[in-house]
């Protein structure tokens, strides 16, 4: 009982957060990003703008929080029976979510908070998914790289394309990356890099 979670979930504070997040999602799906202002969000959520400014600080932080909710995985990666299959299934779903203009905008929103905190949380959650895929593969006796290698050489290149280009990103792109990595999995120095 530390009181760490603030007001109990289901209380007013949680209702306001849910209403505001929902309002952001609704406005994002409807109009252009020009109409996505704090007063507009507040009106849609049935709260006053000052509530949003006090809780989130600015629009960037709010959009970042909403993006985190949408980008963090909501379930365990599916088990297809092989490492390659698990990776392909996972990547297919993630590319489907993020490769659109809307998905790319979400990714930029995630980074639009003053601190890199949300981006780090998102990356950690995704790495945890790779950890599960790797653990299952290892249990099967497959020889697979670490989740760090997957983040570096599969996920990072995909995200880089999404953020730094307008090229289409699809499963062909992902397959190319997998093909480069898989034959040379777990090289001698594939241990996680220093965290210093």
> Where do contacts with DNA occur on this chain (CB under 7 A)?
1, 3, 6-8, 10-13, 15-17, 37-40, 46-51, 53-55, 57-59
Q: What is the rounded distance in angstroms from the CA atom of residue 193 to the CA atom of residue 47? A: 46
Contacts of 175 (CB under 8 A, 6+ apart): 88
Q: How far is the CB of 49 from DNA (least distance, A)?
A: 5
Q: How far is the CB of 105 from a copy of itself (least distance, A)?
A: 9
What letter does residue 11 receive in the DSSP assignment? S
Instruction: Give the one entry of a copy of itself, DNA, none that residue 160 binds, where binding means its C-beta sits below a cut-off of 5 to 8 angstroms depending on kind.
Output: a copy of itself
* Contact between 151 and a copy of itself per CB under 8 A: yes
Instruction: Give the one entry of DNA, a copy of itself, none that residue 13 binds, where binding means its C-beta sits below a cut-off of 5 to 8 angstroms depending on kind.
Output: DNA
Q: What is the rounded distance in angstroms from the CA atom of residue 13 to the CA atom of residue 3? A: 14
What is the phi-psi region of residue 168: left when phi exceeds 0, alpha when psi lies from -120 to 50, beta otherwise?
Answer: beta
Alpha-helical regions (H) of the chain? 12-30, 38-45, 49-56, 59-71, 83-98, 101-111, 117-140, 147-150, 156-164, 171-181
Residue of 2, 29, 75, 179 that binds a copy of itself (CB under 8 A): 179
- Exposure letters 127-138 (e unless 16+ CB within 10 A, then b): eebbebbbebbe
* Contact between 164 and a copy of itself per CB under 8 A: yes
CB nearer to a copy of itself: give 10 or 196: 196
Which residue ranges make up the site for a copy of itself (CB under 8 A)? 33, 104, 108, 111-112, 114, 116, 119-120, 122-123, 149, 151-153, 155-157, 159-160, 163-168, 170, 172-173, 176-177, 179-180, 183-184, 187, 189-190, 193-196
């Amino acid at each position: 009982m530390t009181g760490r979670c603030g007001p109990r979930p289901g209380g007013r504070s949680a209702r306001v957060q849910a209403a505001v997040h929902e309002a952001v999602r609704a406005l994002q799906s409807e109009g252009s990003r020009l109409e996505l202002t704090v007063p507009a969000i507040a009106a849609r959520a049935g709260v006053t703008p000052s509530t949003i400014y006090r809780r989130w600080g600015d629009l960037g932080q709010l959009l970042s929080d909403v993006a985190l909710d949408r980008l963090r995985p909501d379930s365990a990666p599916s088990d297809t029976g092989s490492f390659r299959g698990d990776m392909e299934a996972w990547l297919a779903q993630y590319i489907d979510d993020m490769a659109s203009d809307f998905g790319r905008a979400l990714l930029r929103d995630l980074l639009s908070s003053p601190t890199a905190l949300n981006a780090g949380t998102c990356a950690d959650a995704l790495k945890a998914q790779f950890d599960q895929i790797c653990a299952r593969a290892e249990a099967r006796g497959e020889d697979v790289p670490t989740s760090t290698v997957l983040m570096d050489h599969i996920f990072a290149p995909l995200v880089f394309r999404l953020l730094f280009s307008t090229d289409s990103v699809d499963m062909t792109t992902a397959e190319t990356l997998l093909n480069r990595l898989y034959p040379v999995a777990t090289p001698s120095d594939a241990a996680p890099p220093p965290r210093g």
